[in-house]
Structures are given as C-alpha cells and as structure tokens.
Structure 1
C-alpha cells in the first residue's frame, strides 16, 4: 500500500504508510469520536479527561492531561498517530510530539469545522463509512434545532477568576445557532471578566457550564447578586462545547432548555 498524505486543520502535512493501529488521543470529544468510529483496538492512549466511553479510563493508557502530557508514557506506547486540538492542547507539547510522531491537529469554531474534522479523522483511520453515518446523524439532528428570541446570554466557564466564552469559540457558534446573543461576542476566546463587568453587562440569561469548572446550584446566589434580573441556569457543558460525535445528541438536549 502506498503512503497516504493528509493535511490537518492547521495546514500541517502528515504521511501515513498504513491505516494507524496505535492511536493516542489528546482531546476528550475526539476520543469519544474514535469510539463511535469503532476504533476500540486501535486507540491505545487517552487523557485523564477522556471520560467517554468511561470504560476506556480503565482499559487505555492515561498519558496525562490535555495541557500536560506524560511524554514517557506516550513514548512507551509507540503511537503511529496522535490526534490533538489547537485550543485544548498546549503548543510546546504538541511541537515536541510532532518531532517524533505523526500528529493531526483540529481547529474548530463552527459546526462545519466539526464536520470536516469528523470526515478527516474517518479518512485518516479508514473509517469513512462510519464517519459519514455520524455526519448524517449530526446534520439531521441540527435540522431540528429550535431558535429562541434574541436574549443576551453570558456563558460562564470558570470561577475565581470569572471566565466566559467569547467569540471565535465553538460555544459562541452554538449560542448563535440557538438564536441567542453572546454578551461577549466582541471579545476573543475566553476572557477573564470582573464582577463589576458582569453587573454592567446586564445579561438576560447566565449559563453556568458543568465544565471545565463544575458549577452547581450553590453558586446561584453569588451570581444572582451580580445580575439580579438575569435568569441563572446550569447547563451540560459537553452539549455546548464537545465537537465530536456527541453532536449527534446535542440538539435534543438543547431543545429542552427554556431560555
């Protein structure tokens, strides 16, 4: 079989002599995608945050976190493909891995980016048919997504300091697809904001994500004092930010939310 060449979503070229048999995934949502692509034997290493499928945390080698790789553990696995993401992984770590292994990087801020990633990983792993079925399911599911009134939303991802989703994020895209207005759409990525800024923004709705900070109902009062007129809601962060095969289930969840 001749070598096959691929370009990742950052424009990097990698060449594979054969379909990969020893894959390390550095991103939780893409790990779940590999599971849905049926690559149970091929995936040998994942991060400690790769919680879906849960049994893989016991059966696969944990290679550290998304922003702190255990290079010795990765070396022991001798991977023939590593899959990462520009936002979720750290540049220095990725560059070190690229010196030794084929590394395919995603860069995702839109639904089209996510679909392209799924199709590309299907091609990388010779799982095109399953990838096409996943894409079809996602497309059908998003065709049912309900639009809401243009309420102004603040999507919080962290506490002490407060951090929220701004523009150029997949979360922002999801809010826009729901017909909502991101209060921080004019700010890039994930800005830190002060309590005074939250009060000044006067959002209609504040969404408290379940990840990366595990917001709970006990945080309602603290935030309500900053924005007395806002509706406070706990939401499943995976349904707003995971851009792999979990997108098949996101619209059903999002359609049940009352903004």
Structure 2
C-alpha cells in the first residue's frame, strides 16, 4: 500500500498504480490523455470534450455536478479524479465509498504544475509529465516577457447571463487575466463568481468586456445586445477553455492570449 496526498492534503492509499480511472473534470481528462493514460480511462463526464471522440470510447457517468454513482461503481475504478470547484463535497463523500478519490484545487499555474507532478507520481508517468511541465514553464516565461509591452486594461470577464455573472477573486481565470495585464474590475466582491448588474460596468470604468464561450456559450448576438445596454469601449468573445482549463491545455494557452491581445490592440 502506498500513500499519496491530493491538493486538499487528503490522504489517498493505493495498492498499486491505478489501471482504471474515472475522471470527473474535463481539463483533467485532457491532461490524462496527454500523459499517455488514455487506455486507463474508463469513465468521463458529458463535458469531457477533448479529445473530441473520447466520450464515444468511454462510459459517460454524468456531469461535473451530478454523477450517476451506480455507473461509476459498475466501472470498478481504482481511482476517481475530482476538483474542489467542479465537484461538490457531497459527491466526493459518496464517491469515496466506491474508490479512492483525488481532489485537485487550482487557482494558479503553479497549482496546475503541482497537480501534473502529483499525477506523475500516482500514475508513474514522470517522463511525459516533465515534458508538459517544462513546456508550460517555457511558454509562460516567453509570454510574460511579451506581456510587458501590453497596455493594462480594466476588464469584466463574463461567464453567465440571466443572471449576469463574472469571474472574481481567487479564481484561475483571474490569475490568467493578471498574466495578460488585465485588471479585473470585480475583485472586491465577496463571491468568487459574483452576480452583477450591467450598470456597475460604467461605475467601475470597465474598458473591455470579455465574454467566455463557457460555461455559458456567449455568441455574437450577445455582443450586439450588450452594445445597446452598456457603454464599454470593447466587447470580445474569448475561448473559455484557454482562460479556465488547466493542465496540458496551458501548453497552447499563451499563443491564444497573444491573439486576443492582437485583436484588442
């Protein structure tokens, strides 16, 4: 029996290297595949869209907030992978009756690199994990050098409408906004994802509205509707996966951020 600790410092005891994995977090599912663990994945959520055909190969056990526990149990997993933000405490408690559960907690890129390192140890994929970690570090450093030339802009990053919701403090999204020299207008709110009124945008002198493609799939029609309601210099749809997915998605995120900066300039 070997013991590990997840990112909530919860002890996990494993008899051997897990051969049957259920992943309940889309970005972590993508990471597993890039770590060479595709064959070991037996269960995923309906939101695990990368790689595109994976859901046809694996058992879909539900969503990130609601899972069919009987489906998970039937897969006889050796380990179940969760996330503090994506999955509820109640889910984790129920899943622990089935198999050991690893819970990630990601607010920064360093947290993401730590998670990749934990997976490297648990699944014995140190070589591939090291490649991904070094790639992310290199891309981040190059981007930070470029970002010194970016103007600082005050932004609101919308994740939902009806009600309007934005990314706030202590979120991975805000961490990536800061790397882009975007100043988040809603850091003083108590909630990490506060509901706001559109009239707050002008009061806070927001210069740019970023409309995420997820979890709410903002479209061009939303830009046109907002232009009629708010006075903001720029409204832009951005790929939410690059601003909220961690793990191996970060290897391509910084090039995407450069494209966003070019559009806004």
TM range (shorter): over 0.9
Displacement after TM superposition at 1:112 (Å): 0.4
Residue equivalent to 1:162: 164
What are the within-5 Å matches in structure 2 for residues 85-96 of structure 1?
A: 85-96=83-94
What are the within-5 Å matches in structure 2 for residues 22-41 of structure 1?
A: 22-41=20-39
What SS does the corresponding residue of 1:101 show, helix, strand or coil? coil
Would you say the 8 A contact 2:209–2:232 is kept in 1? no
Q: Distance in 2 between matches of 1:208 and 1:137?
A: 28
List runs of 5+ in structure 1 lacking aligned partners: none
Residue equivalent to 2:5: 7
What are the within-5 Å matches in structure 2 for residues 63-212 of structure 1?
A: 63-145=61-143, 146-147=146-147, 148-187=150-189, 188-212=191-215
Q: Distance in 2 between matches of 1:24 and 1:110?
A: 24
Would you say the 8 A contact 2:198–2:230 is kept in 1? no
Q: Distance in 2 between matches of 1:81 and 1:108?
A: 19
TM-score normalised by structure 2 residue count: 0.94
Task: Give the counterpart of 1:53 among 35, 51, 54.
Answer: 51
Would you say the 8 A contact 1:23–1:43 is kept in 2? yes
Displacement after TM superposition at 1:174 (Å): 0.2
Displacement after TM superposition at 1:64 (Å): 0.1
List runs of 5+ in structure 2 lacking aligned partners: none
Displacement after TM superposition at 1:255 (Å): 0.8
Displacement after TM superposition at 1:183 (Å): 0.5
Which has a greater percent of helix?
2
Displacement after TM superposition at 1:216 (Å): 0.7
Which deviations, in whole Å up to 9, do the C-alpha atoms of 1:155-204 show, x marking residues without a partner? 00001000000011000000111111000122231111112223422311
What SS does the corresponding residue of 1:58 show, helix, strand or coil? helix
Displacement after TM superposition at 1:227 (Å): 2.7
What SS does the corresponding residue of 1:143 show, helix, strand or coil? helix
Q: Distance in 2 between matches of 1:58 and 1:100?
A: 24
Would you say the 8 A contact 1:157–1:213 is kept in 2? yes
Would you say the 8 A contact 1:28–1:52 is kept in 2? yes
